[in-house]
Structure 1
Amino acid sequence: MISQFQESLHLTARTFQSEMLDTTFEDVLEHIDSGIMLFDEEGVLSFVNKQMYGMLDLPRSSLVGCTMSHLLAHVQLSRFKKKLVLRIYRETVYKGKPSYEYVDEFGRYWRVTLSSGEQLKGSYLFTVKEISDYKLIEQTAYQNDNLAMLGKLSASIAHEIRNPLTAIRGFIQLLRPHLHQLGKEEYARIILAEIDRANDIIHEFLTSSKPSVPQVGMISVSALLKEVVLLTESEALMKGCQINLHQLQNDLIISVDVKQVKQVVLNMIKNAMEAITDRIDSDMGRIEIGARREGAEVRIFISDNGKGMDILTLDRLFSPFFTTKESGTGLGLSVSDRIIKNHGGCISVSSRLNEGTQFVISLPLIQ
C-alpha cells in the first residue's frame, strides 16, 4: 500500500515537472526575438508566439488550429502577407529549401528557417528573424570589396581608353582650319568640348574609389539645365521621349564644378530614356526637368514615366557595380552620388513599378 502511494506520488511529481517544463519552454519561445510557428503532423498550427502573430498582424486566437490553406484564406491577412506566406511555403516546404530570405513592404530583411524531420515527429517548425543589420554589414563589405577591385582595374585600363580620345582630339584640331573655311568651325568646338567631357567622365569612373576635389565656379541652375536639355533632346526624340523643361527662376545660383554636375544630370536623363524605352505600353515617353528653391537649397528634379523600380533595386541603386542593364557598368549612379556629396548636397529617389521614377538633386544655393 505504501509502495503504491509512493509510486503515485512520484508519478504526480513527474507530471507536475513535465507541465512546469512545458510552461517554461513556452515562456522562453514567447519572448525570444524571432517569430515561431509550429504545424503538427496533420498540418494544423498548434503553436504561434507573440512575435509571429505580431508580424502577421492577426490575433493569436484566430491562428491556432488553422491549416496553411485556412491561413491563406484568412480575411484579416493582407494581400501582401498572403503572397509572402505562399512564397515562403513554396520555397521551403515544396522546394525543400532549409531557409528563405525576403524583404518586407518597409524594406526590412528577414530570414525564414524551416525545421522538420524525425526529431520533430512529423511537425514543421518555421522560425522568422530580422537580419537587416547583418545585410547592412554584408552590403558594406561587398561595396568595399568592389571599390578595392575598382582601384586595381583603374591603372590597367586608363591608358587604353584615353589614348584613342587623345588621337581623335588631335585630328579634330588638325581639321579645324578646314571646318572654318566651310563655315562649320562650331562643329569642331562642340566635338572638342564633348571629347574633353568624355575624358572627364572617364577620369571620374576610374577614380570613383577615391574622392576628387570639385573645381567650382558659379552658374545659374537655369543655364545649366538648358544646356543639358540642348545636348539630349535630339536623342530623346529618336527614342520616343519628350523632354519638358519647366520654367525656372533666374536667381537660383550655385557654386559647383559645372562639368561634374552636368555629368550627373546627363546620366539621370539617359537613365530615364532607357527606363521609358523598356516600358511595356506604347504611350509617349515624358521626361520632366525643373528646379525649385527649398530654403537655402535648390532641388533639381528629373522625373520620367518609365518602367519604374522595385524596392530591391532602389535599395542597391547607388552601390558600385550594381546595374539592371545588360551593357551597364553599374558605376554611373555611384559616381553621381559621390559627386553631389562632394558638393555638400544629396540625391534622393522615389519610384513605383510601371508608373515612373523621380530623382531629386539637392544643392546649396549662393545667397
Structure 2
Amino acid sequence: MLHEIQDSRLLPARPIQTGLLDSTYENVLEHMDSGVMLFDEEGSLTFLNARAYGMLELQRYELSGCTIVDILTHLSLSRTKKRQLLKVYRETVYKGKSICEFMDEYGRYWEVNASYGADMNGSYLFTIKEVSDYKKIEQTAYQNDNLAMLGKLSASIAHEIRNPLTAIRGFIQLLRPHLQGLGKEEYAKIILAEIDRANDIIHEFLSSSKPSSPQTRIASISALLKEVILLTESEVLMKGCQIDLQSLPGDLYVSVDVKQMKQVLINMIRNALEAISDRLDGTTGKIELGARREGSEVRILISDNGKGMDACTMNRLFSQFFTTKENGTGLGLSVSDRIVKNHGGRISVTSRVNEGTSFVISLPLINGLTS
C-alpha cells in the first residue's frame, strides 16, 4: 500500500507553517473538540490541532515536517494507529470517499471527513471526531426495531400455535387412561411435558416483547423470599441440592409487582440449578438466598456453587437470545433484567469458573417501613 501512497501527491516533506493561517482562525481550530489535519498540495502537513496529535498519541514536534508517508512510518506511532491511518488513507485519498469510520483499540468509534478538490486548491483537510454516543443511539434504535418486530412475531406465534397446543393437550389428557391401560402412560407424560415447554417458550417471547406494567403493592422481602423457597424447594430437592435462606436483619419492605418479582427469583434459582447440574466434580449443590439493607436500597442475593461463568459469558448474560443452554431461548435473564429496571432497580452478577455465581438484585426501599 505504501507504494500507492508514494505515487500520490502527498509526498514531499516540509516544515509545518502555522503562520499561513490567520491567528484568530488558528486559535479556534486549536481548541475544537474535533481533530483537524491539513495537508497542502505537495503533501506536507501544514496544520494540526491539539486534538489531532492527542488522538495519534504523539507530540506536535514529532509531526513537524511530516508527510503522510512519514507519519505512517513514524517510529513512535503504534502499530494500531498506523493501521487506522492506513485505512483512512485508502478510503479517502485512494478511493475518493469523503467519510470514513473506524473503531479504535479502546472500543471508541471515530468518523473522519475528508475535504479536497478545486475549492481546496489541491489541499487535503481531514477532520476527526468521536461518534461513540451516536453509535450507541444507532444501536439502541436498531434494538428497538428488533423489539417491535419481535412483538409482531410473538403475537403471531401466540395466535397460531398456542390455541392448537391447548387442544392437543386436552386430547392427550383424554387418551391418557387408554395409554395407561396399554402400559404406555410415559408417552402421555412426555407429550404433555413437551407441550408445556412449547407454551413456556411462547410465554417468554410474549414477556420479552411486551412485558406488562408492574402492578405494584407494598411487600415484605422476608415473605417474598420464603414463598419463593416454598415454590422451588421440591424441584431443588429432586435434583439433589439444598436451598437455604440466610437470616435477615429485620424485615424490609419494597413496592413491587409480587408476581413479576417471583418470576425473576424463580428464574434465577432454576438457572442456578442448571449451573450446579453442569458441574462435573460431584460437589453437593447449594443455593443461598438472602437480603440486606444498603442505604436506601435492599440487596437481594442469590448465590450458587455451580460451574460459574467466564467474563465473556457475563458480558452477554442479559442480551436477548444469548444462551449457553442446549434448549434455552436466551430470554429469561433479559426479561428479568427488564422487570427489575421497570421497578427502578438493577441486577449485578459476579462469577468465577468452577466456583459459582452470585446475582444481586437492588431495589429501592419504602421509607419508614422496616421492622
| TM norm structure 2 | 0.57
Give the C-alpha shift of residue 306 in structure 1: 0.9
Change (3 A) 1:337 1:169: farther
Change (3 A) 1:310 1:215: closer
- 2:246, 2:288 within 8 Å by CA — same for their partners in 1? no
Q: What is the correspondence of 1:1-367 to structure 2 with a 5 Å cutoff?
A: 19-21=19-21, 26-37=26-37, 47-55=47-55, 59-62=59-62, 64=64, 67-68=71-72, 69-72=74-77, 82=78, 85=81, 88-89=84-85, 91-92=87-88, 99-102=100-103, 105=106, 109-113=108-112, 115=114, 127-159=127-159, 160-161=161-162, 163-164=164-165, 167-168=168-169, 202-203=202-203, 205-214=205-214, 218=219, 220-223=223-226, 226=229, 230=233, 247-249=246-248, 251-252=251-252, 254=254, 256-268=256-268, 290-302=290-302, 305-309=308-312, 321=320, 323=322, 331-342=331-342, 344-349=343-348, 359-365=359-365, 367=369
Give the C-alpha shift of residue 149 in structure 1: 1.5
Distance in 1, matches of 2:272 and 2:45, equals 48
Ranges in structure 1 where 5+ consecutive residues have no aligned partner = 1-17, 73-81, 180-187
RMSD: 5.8
Distance in 2, matches of 1:333 and 1:288, equals 19
Please state whether the residue corresponding to 2:311 is helix, strand or coil: coil
Please list the CA deviations of residues 184-222 of structure 1 after superposition, one character each: whole Å capped at 9, or x if unmatched: xxxx9xx99x95x98577445315444524466746353
Identity level (%):
50
Distance in 2, matches of 1:224 and 1:348, equals 21
- 2:300, 2:360 within 8 Å by CA — same for their partners in 1? yes
Letter in 1 for 2:311: G
- 2:302, 2:358 within 8 Å by CA — same for their partners in 1? yes
Distance in 2, matches of 1:116 and 1:275, equals 56
Distance in 2, matches of 1:145 and 1:213, equals 20
Distance in 2, matches of 1:128 and 1:25, equals 18
Deviates more, 1:163-172 or 1:136-145: 163-172
Please state whether the residue corresponding to 2:76 is helix, strand or coil: helix
Give the C-alpha shift of residue 331 in structure 1: 4.0
Give the C-alpha shift of residue 339 in structure 1: 1.9
| TM norm structure 1 | 0.57
Please state whether the residue corresponding to 1:306 is helix, strand or coil: coil
Distance in 2, matches of 1:293 and 1:118, equals 65
Please state whether the residue corresponding to 1:71 is helix, strand or coil: coil
Distance in 2, matches of 1:227 and 1:85, equals 58
